[in-house]
Amino acid sequence: MNRAQRLREAITGGRGARWHPTDALVRGLVLGVGMVVLGGLLHEVELVLIGAPLLISTLVALVTPVGGVPRVDVRRLPRTGEVGAAKSSVGIDPGPGAEVVAIRLPVAGPGIGPVHLLPAEAGEVEVVLRRDAWGEGVDLRPDHLVAGPDALLVYGPVTAPERGRLLLPPVEPLPAGLLPARAAGLVGAHRARRPGDSVELRDIRAFQPGDRLRRIDWRVSLRSGDLHVREHHAEADADVVLALDTRLDLGAEVGDWSTTARGAGARPGGSLDRAVRAAASLAAGYLRQGDRVSLVDLARPRLGLRAGAGRRQLLRVRHQLVVCARWVGWASRPVLRPEQVPHGALVVVLSPFLDADVVELTVHAARRGNAVLAVDVLPRPLRPDRETPWGRSALKVIELEHDVRLEAMRRHGVAVVAWGDPISGALRRARSARRVVR
């Protein structure tokens, strides 16, 4: 017998997976027989009148056929879902002779839920499942107990297996054209530097052999006396690299930074939670425009995701974000390899930026010629540690060092923005600053 079996036997008293009599059956038999016999010996009619109904009801319950193996199955519970409420159902097959089913079901909330008493004819029960946090979690554990007539024979209690879902990070709506990225592909919604076919005028030049006649600008040609053609910008796609810093998961309470969050996944409202939500929203915005998006885990490069486009890529990115958050933990140094960043790609670094290593990595990506956006996901406002008299002073030092790191990235041409602030303006200012420096 393994450890799980021993634990199940300890919970159910060794009687879980079979029909067995309850204490009420034993008391009914003993008291019924005892009162009838004692009343006959003492010639007390009152004792017989009290014990006879008790004995008869117990015998009737024993004569009623009860058997089979009751089944409780969870139906219509998808393996993945979205944050919020979802409906599922639990099918109940109590078997012949059963009268009452006691089953543990949630009521529009997370957790294993309270116990509900249902008639054996219920058949199927709809339940509302709700989770407001993305990631893996338990939604339903239908522990149950089936009772026969008068609850004198019961099957269980049975500890059912836990049923959970993988909830994908939510996608927050972002405005179209949220980031004026530098183009690197063939087709897409961004403007490239090379000439091509689009609706945006690039230049008017003299006609050359090989130009199409439909590109001739007749107004300029008649005015100058020579043929001139319209030249348009090519529409190109952008390569976007989402670099996620999973080394730290920090909340607004500075005193809790040394502790880990309970359970698997990210701390609700913490830096990793904000980073994952931001990455999912940015990926959805770029993929909607036809761009190519890849994912890089700065702490564990093997958990990255190759570039792709379309709805399927968004689903892959959201799934992989949950995987990356599952392995949150400190790494010696963040890693962003050159082969993970295509030439001309936009690099989006999502981090709380509380150490110099991730700042150096971000600046190095900008020096390689890529447009870099640093998204600060540190929760604000931070609250000092109340258990030490130096809490406010330590918080002041942390905030000053954090501001110095952000300013250092700005001086190197990195667009820095806190998640929730407008992004397009920060990128335009960063690109203008880089052109002035050059």
pLDDT tens per residue across span 256-305: 887 766 555 678 889 999 999 999 999 998 888 888 999 999 999 899 99
Whether residue 247 sits in one domain with residue 227: no
* Same domain membership, residue 143 and residue 206: no
220 and 154 in a common domain: no
* pLDDT recorded at residue 317: 96
Judgement on whether residues 37 and 81 belong to the same structural domain of the protein = no
Q: How much is the pLDDT for 419?
A: 85
Domain boundary among 185, 217, 232: 232
Q: Quick check: 242 and 283 in contact, CB under 8 A? A: yes
422 lies in a domain? Answer: yes
Residue 241 and residue 228 share a domain: no
CA distance 413 to 419: 19
Structural domain count, the chain: 4
Distance of alpha carbon 351 from alpha carbon 355, whole angstroms: 10
Single-letter code of the amino acid located at 160: A
Clarify whether residues 248 and 224 are in a common domain. no
Give yes or no for a contact between 232 and 208, defined as CB atoms under 8 angstroms apart.
Answer: no
Are 403 and 300 in the same domain?
A: yes
Residue 207: which domain range?
201-232
Beta-bridge partners for 154: 20, 147
- Mark the ranges of the chain whose per-residue pLDDT is less than 50: 1-16, 176-177, 179-198, 234-236, 435-438
Q: Tell me: do 273 and 207 sit in the same domain.
A: no
Looking at the fold, whether 286 and 400 belong to one and the same domain comes out as: yes
Q: How far is CA 107 from CA 121, 126, 128, in A?
A: 21, 10, 6
